[in-house]
Amino acid sequence: MRWEVWVAYFAACWVIAVSPGSGAVLSMSHGLSYGVRRATTTILGLQVGLVMVLLIAGGGLGALLLASETAFVAVKTVGALYLIYLGIQQWRARVAADGDGGSAAPARVPTMSRQRRFATGVLTNATNPKGIVFMVAVLPQFIDTTHPLAAQLAILALTMCAVDVTVMHGYALLASRMQGLFRNARALRWQNRFFGSVLMAVGTALFFVRRHHA
């Protein structure tokens, strides 16, 4: 891969990562609820899902998904329903108040297990048809067909993940700085409802994602 091609791809990765999406919402939600250290597990899961999408797109399967209306609708529906499910779970998440001070008392959010945080990150990115559409449109511009594909995909994946990890941690850190504002049960419930609503909205928006026609 030529140096100037990699630089252009590196710049594109920042634009992609900074653009708000389901991964950013999830990183902020977990950063606010559990702190940056625990949100790291979620972010690592997001990277696994991201690599899966990149390999699907770069390996040609993404083009096949876009060529098949049935396959694309199936992937789109699964991704949309999963985000809506996450939003409902977030909306309904229990908030435990410490002591007997009612809704104004200090509160805590039951911590999601490390395995579940990781799996949530993986599925959030892996079932995102918008990501597949975008990757299929973008990746071919940075792949040289005269050179081995595997090495190029490895470079593209490592670059994308390095940028995305940095950006997602930035989102999680930004959200975690607001933890002091969400110390009572009422505030935590509104936090869960806000992020739950955003996840449901993003999931609903996926139903309107269309494949590119040949």
- pLDDT tens string 186-195: 767 777 788 7
Cβ atoms 25, 198 nearer than 8 A: yes
Residue 105 lies in a domain: yes
Q: If you search the block for the tokens 């490390």, which residue do you land on?
A: 114
Q: Is residue 63 in some structural domain?
A: yes
pLDDT at 159: 95
The answer to the question of residue 180 being in a domain is yes
> What pTM did the predictor assign?
0.75
DSSP string, 5-63: HHHHHHHHHHHHHHS--HHHHHHHHHHHHH-HHHHHHHHHHHHHHHHHHHHHHHTTHHH
CA dist list (Å): 211 to 75, 81, 199, 208 = 11, 18, 22, 10
Instruction: Give, as one character, the DSSP assignment of residue 208.
Output: T
pLDDT tens-digit profile, the chain (214 residues): 788 889 988 998 898 888 778 899 899 989 988 889 999 999 999 999 999 988 887 776 656 666 677 777 787 788 788 778 888 887 877 765 554 444 444 455 567 889 999 999 999 998 887 777 777 777 777 878 788 888 888 999 999 999 999 999 999 998 888 766 656 667 677 777 887 888 788 778 778 766 655 4
Residue 71 resides in a domain: yes
* Residue 161 domain-assigned (yes or no): yes
Q: Rounded to whole angstroms, how far apart are CA atoms 11 and 9?
A: 5
Residue 24 in domain: no
**Residue 13: closest CA among 155, 128, 149:** 155
Domain enclosing residue 78, as ranges: 36-206
* Amino acid 105: pLDDT: 47
| Whole-number pLDDT of residue 163 | 96
Supply the pLDDT for residue 212. Answer: 55
21 domain residue, yes or no: no
Q: Does some domain include residue 18?
A: no
Quick check: 176 and 39 in contact, CB under 8 A? yes
Total domain count for the chain? 1
